[in-house]
Structure 1
């Protein structure tokens, strides 16, 4: 197995799954939150749909049920709105020769603040894609963005944020699919207890990379570009 890409300055930063999907607050009207994300194949989308249907029976509405696209964040930060064309060109160049590769879901995760994720199994191929996307996109980001409020509790994450505008890159990359955020329905506990008994894997693929404007929950509200892979690795 290939080792994860190692960035010495980031190696000591603890993982904080609860914050992985949170988009950054807008600094000014010309700053936009943009997510560069992996596009999953049909089996993965169907797994999200099945979980959403189960949660709906318990009175909870997932982001998928609200109409948001299923996606796995690779790199999310803020950019000047004027940077969108350069950003799209940079990502197109990175992925132009990419082939589809496996994407595996291996369970669910509920955070202390009641975010609900489907976990994406880490792989060298997914890590490499995230790393390449981050390096290509970072020069175009808003370098004046301020860290979100929750980071005051996690000062060790500041070096990553200051360098890349995101605390969740390189060694801190923790892929997942977000179903719910800050859920208050008490039925979530029962859902977790029942579904934890059996958590079969879902095997799909990364079919491409997308770029989209996102809301404060990291959900895509406008697709800017999609780059579909051709063939398989």
Structure 2
């Protein structure tokens, strides 16, 4: 079962920290065609009385790794992500269709790809040593024992084999118009062909949306100082 990282963070109990920590989202930055697809769907939602994250002013992004980090780790985290971006060329991103969870979180589906999976894996491995290791798994994760080992090791259940890329539109939507919107979107699924053009780091709210951008780095063609695994 899909467990969006944003849902995880909304329910995540925060332990008593030896130093301040915040929820940081390390995310893939999509190109204009993908952003325009989100904007178009957001316009349709607005016509039905629903306000998407995009309409609320949050940046369109695809989460790569989201967990809590000590604020003291910010400089090291920026340096690690900058190195990854410097050694990764832009690559294709395909959007095809709508996804809705049982609790009415709504996403545009991002087609999984080797390039996107590899980027998420690389970011997770680089950032995980810097994370806040005092955060404990929420009680509701007892219902998903297969995801618990990933959370305990990486601070997120949605990494590696559990990674499912998406673009968030709505959270816990209560509108009675949602069912009609979903039916129409499934009949004519939103689609877009674009690219991942950069990696960003941002502080998030309880829904995993960016409320303060810490840094964004454009993807670049790997140079001679990049080591290929």
Deviation larger for 60-69 or 92-101: 92-101
Q: Within 5 Å, which residues of 2 pair with 1:206-225? A: 206-225=196-215
Tell me the CA shift for residue 155 of structure 1. 2.0
CA deviations 1:203-223 (Å, max 9, x no partner) are 000000000000110000000
CA deviations 1:75-124 (Å, max 9, x no partner) are 00111111111111111112212211000001001110000000000000
Tell me the CA shift for residue 200 of structure 1. 4.7
Residue aligned with 1:196, SS: helix
Q: Which residue of 1 aligns with 2:183?
A: 193
Q: Which residue of 1 aligns with 2:120?
A: 130
CA distance in 2, matches of 1:152, 1:134: 23
Q: Which residue of 1 aligns with 2:161?
A: 171
Question: Structure 1 residues 200 and 177, CA, compared in 2 at 3 Å: closer, same or farther?
Answer: closer
Tell me the CA shift for residue 48 of structure 1. 0.4
Tell me the CA shift for residue 18 of structure 1. 4.2
- Please state if 1:27 is matched with 2:15: yes
Residue aligned with 2:64, SS: strand
Aligned equivalent of 2:95, options 105, 113, 137: 105
Aligned equivalent of 1:151, options 120, 141, 146: 141
Contact 1:25 1:216 survives alignment (8 Å): no
Q: Which residue of 2 aligns with 1:55?
A: 45
Aligned equivalent of 1:139, options 129, 153, 158: 129
Deviation larger for 147-156 or 202-211: 147-156
Moved over 4 A (4+): none
CA distance in 1, matches of 2:198, 2:13: 27
Unaligned residue ranges in structure 2 (runs of 5+): 223-229
Aligned equivalent of 1:83, options 62, 73, 78: 73
TM-score of the superposed pair, with normalisation by structure 2:
0.90
Residue aligned with 1:125, SS: helix
CA distance in 2, matches of 1:28, 1:161: 18
Q: Which residue of 1 aligns with 2:111?
A: 121
- The alignment of Structure 1 onto Structure 2 pairs a total of residues equal to 217
Q: Which residue of 2 aligns with 1:11?
A: none
Question: Structure 1 residues 149 and 66, CA, compared in 2 at 3 Å: closer, same or farther?
Answer: farther
Unaligned residue ranges in structure 1 (runs of 5+): 1-15
TM-score of the superposed pair, with normalisation by structure 1:
0.89
CA deviations 1:27-57 (Å, max 9, x no partner) are 3571210010000000000000001000001
Residue aligned with 2:187, SS: coil
Question: Structure 1 residues 118 and 158, CA, compared in 2 at 3 Å: closer, same or farther?
Answer: same
Contact 1:20 1:174 survives alignment (8 Å): no
CA distance in 1, matches of 2:78, 2:67: 14
